[in-house]
Amino acid sequence: MEVQFYHNDVVNNKIDNMGTIHLFDRNLKSKTFTAYSKRVNHLKHCKPNFLVAVGDDETPACQDLIKIYNMDKYESTTDEYTMVCKPINIFTKSKIPPSPITFIEVNAEFTIIALGLGSGVIVLIQGDLSRGKVQHKVLLGNNHRITGLHLRKLVGSGSNYNLYCTTPETIFKYQISGTKIESMKELDQIGCEIGCSILSNEGDLIIARKEGLWFYKLEGKGGCLAFEGKKLMLKWYRTYCIVISSDLNRQNVLQQVITIYDLQNKYIAFRFSSDRIQVSNILQEFGSLFIIVKEKNNLGTGSIQKILKLDEKDTQSKLEILFQKNMYSYAIKLVNSQQLDLTYVVETFRKYGDHLYSKKQYDEAMEQYLQTVGKLEPSYVIRKYLDAQQINNLTRYLEALHNKDLATADHTTLLLNCYTKLKDGKKEKLDKFIKVCNEKKI
């Protein structure tokens, strides 16, 4: 698989007058082919290896052509890839007034292309796209410029989809059942700009506005993650939500901020800000993130285009960083969400317990140590609470060992000694323990 880069900046609607597409391999060596005679406006790479392009072949104004390329079929004699079908002019086929194509979405099964227009019209191209056998459908939106389209397949429903649509003024959806399309349903009367909507791994629609991120589920509007700053772009990567925003720094200079949120574990995984860069786009391939930016030169008279590469740290490195910052509750969420080996889990609870113990928060520390019963050497915890003369907490730990049938004779003797030193409820605890011992014939 190759990374598709292209000259135009889709988010800011800047136009490339060269009509070329650039493909980069793992070593970022490029290969270029001409897709249009004038400009490329949108690209969408689709599985297994098709490329849907929208651009201008010097056709009449606002009548962009859709071209579908098979990226596995390269003609070395012409230095071009094979088109699956003839270029599609939706305005000729659908007989709708010409309008700029503002957004493009393609489903994972490569059977639907959804196009959003500046006029508020939505065009669906359906069929066997890999063979060029397609038909068109026109959906009337609400006369506002389409800023986002997202197809979510409904679980266990075959070819049924929800098509989420956004404009600057509203959010709505259609349900697509095969070739049948149900009527529009409005989800909210506030929308978003181009590039400020995504689908999460769970299929939730996420919208970025100035006051924060808003979440929409199948049943309607959900929660909000509030934080200030003008939102410029949203992207989804693995389990992360990437937000590009702008705000004023301490010197009152406008800067762009790249923030990567782990929404599942609720922490910021990465943050970078600079008044020297402008993010054009974010792509993901080869297990990495590629951030395309324009960086001001040292003289401040112009800018150069750069590609920044971000690689995710391994889990052990993430945990070490969280440990260094004493963010143990986040570390526990991380190991639970990653379904890691038991060794990671025990070590995280032990470190959290040690941290709380060092702060003399003995009760809270014991809550963590109890999570390690049966996996951590008992003497490690017992010595700590003997030294601190924490009889109540030591009793809790020894009881947990007995409840899991992990206690030795020494543990039993120690527990009996603890019971005799308890101030409150020692008779009840002792009687209960003796009864259990008799039942188990200890």
| pLDDT in the model for residue 13 | 32
Region 157-175 average pLDDT: 91
Between residues 175 and 78, the one the model is more confident about: 175
Give the whole-angstrom CA distance, residue 228 versus residue 251. Answer: 18
Total Cβ atoms within 10 A of residue 335: 23
- Edge to edge, the sheet with strand 240-248 lists 230-237, 240-248, 254-262, 267-274
Query: pLDDT at position 256, please?
Result: 95
Look up the pTM and report it: 0.83
Dist. CA 118–CA 61, nearest whole Å: 13
Question: For the ranges 22-31, 108-117, 229-238, which has the lowest average pLDDT?
Answer: 22-31
Residue-wise pLDDT for 23-66, tens only, equals: 888 888 888 898 998 889 999 999 889 999 999 888 776 678 99
pLDDT level of residue 143 (50, 70, 90 thresholds): confident
Largest CA distance in the chain: 94
Look-up of token digits 């009152």:
252
Report whether pLDDT(6) > 60: no
**Is 302 in contact with 295 (CB distance < 8 Å)?**
no
Look up residue 216 and give its two tokens: 């929409």
Residue-averaged pLDDT of the chain: 87
Query: What pLDDT is stored for residue 1 in this prediction?
Result: 33
149-160 residue pLDDT tens: 999 998 876 788
Candidate CATH numbers 2.60.40, 1.25.40, 3.30.1380, 1.20.140; the one for domain 318-440: 1.25.40
On the question of a cis peptide bond just before residue 48, with omega within 30 degrees of 0, the verdict is yes
CB 436 within 8 A of CB 399: no
Exposed, middle or buried: residue 49 (CB in 10 Å: 0-12, 13-18, 19+)? Answer: middle
pLDDT band at residue 4 under the 50/70/90 scheme:
very low
Percent of the chain at pLDDT above 90?
Answer: 53
Query: Quick count: other Cβ atoms within 10 Å of Cβ 131?
Result: 10
Domain ranges of the chain: 318-440
Three-state SS letters, the chain: CCEEEECCCCCCCCCCCCCEEEEECCCCCEEEEECCCCEEEEEEEECCCEEEEEEECCCCCCCCEEEEEEEEEEECCCCEEEECCCCECHHHHHCCCCCCEEEEEECCCCCEEEEEECCCEEEEEEEEHHHCEEEEEEEECCCCCCCEEEEEECCCCCCEEEEEEECCCCEEEEEEECCEECCCEEEECCCCCCCCEEECCCCCEEEEECCEEEEEECCEEEEEEECCCEEEEEEEECCEEEEEEEEECCCCCEEEEEEEEECCCCEEEEEEEECCEEEEEEEEECCEEEEEEEEECCCCCCEEEEEEEEECCCHHHHHHHHHHCCCHHHHHHHHHHHCCCHHHHHHHHHHHHHHHHHCCCHHHHHHHHHHHCCCCCHHHHHHHHHHCCCHHHHHHHHHHHHHCCCCCHHHHHHHHHHHHHCCCCHHHHHHHHHHHHHHHCC
Comparing C-alpha atoms, which of 234, 139, 146 is closest to residue 195?
234
User: Would the pLDDT of 328 be above 70?
Assistant: yes
